[in-house]
Chains A and B, each alone.
Chain A
Amino acid sequence: NAGVTQTPKFRVLKTGQSMTLLCAQDMNHEYMYWYRQDPGMGLRLIHYSVGEGTTAKGEVPDGYNVSRLKKQNFLLGLESAAPSQTSVYFCASSPGGVPVEQFFGPGTRLTVL
């Protein structure tokens, strides 16, 4: 099993450009999450999904959109990138039910110029 994978690993955007980050998991997990990690801020939840076709806002959702059309995939979109969105983005998944551990992907480093 590959676990949680993220595509791409690195990306540089210009302000105003759009892009989509892809997260895929092969563990048949119900729940998936997108976080951003910034120095000194820890991990902050952007959006999450509790099942195929569902999404919900996390702590810092502004400027991002998500979709969960297939159970194994969770997409994070930036419609008009801003320098404040320069960060490392992590995807995670968990089986569902009580808060069991979340399984993390390797991250995507995004720079917005």
Chain B
Amino acid sequence: AQSVTQPDIHITVSEGASLELRCNYSYGATPYLFWYVQSPGQGLQLLLKYFSGDTLVQGIKGFEAEFKRSQSSFNLRKPSVHWSDAAEYFCAVGGRGGSEKLVFGKGTKLTVNP
């Protein structure tokens, strides 16, 4: 069964600084990988996804993520954080065995200081 670990519960960065949120997964083959963002009081919105091909994927709002098979990681990055990026971020993994279920990490809360 697949699993996801987000090692950082809470990260604080200054506006304009770069950001990297970590995600490690466990799965026996190449998984499907997702990053979602949840603004306070809202549902989850998809930022980006990896299915196959280019290991660097671009998403919405200037985010990107890189799939590294050797490290079982799918870290989310943004070169310059805006105050509106303050939210909670969830990494999720889906298996290729035909199941439609996703397994979510416990989330990383991002605080942006002015």
* B89-102 vs A, Cβ < 8 Å mask (1 yes, 0 no): 01000111001111
Please determine whether B100 and A42 come into contact, CB atoms closer than 8 angstroms.
no
Q: What count of chain B residues pass the 8 Å CB interface test?
A: 24
Q: What count of chain A residues pass the 8 Å CB interface test?
A: 26
Cβ of A45 within 8 Å of any chain B Cβ, yes or no, is: yes
Using known A-B contacts A43-B90, A45-B101, A48-B100, determine if residue A101 contacts B9 with beta carbons closer than 8 Å. no
| Bound-complex Cα distance A107 to B51 (A) | 27
Using known A-B contacts A48-B100, A50-B100, A98-B32, determine if residue A40 contacts B9 with beta carbons closer than 8 Å. yes
List chain B positions with a Cβ less than 8 A from chain A.
Answer: 9, 32, 34, 36, 41-46, 49, 51, 90, 94-96, 99-102, 104-107
List chain A positions with a Cβ less than 8 A from chain B.
Answer: 4, 31, 33, 40-45, 48, 50, 58, 90, 92, 94, 96, 98-107
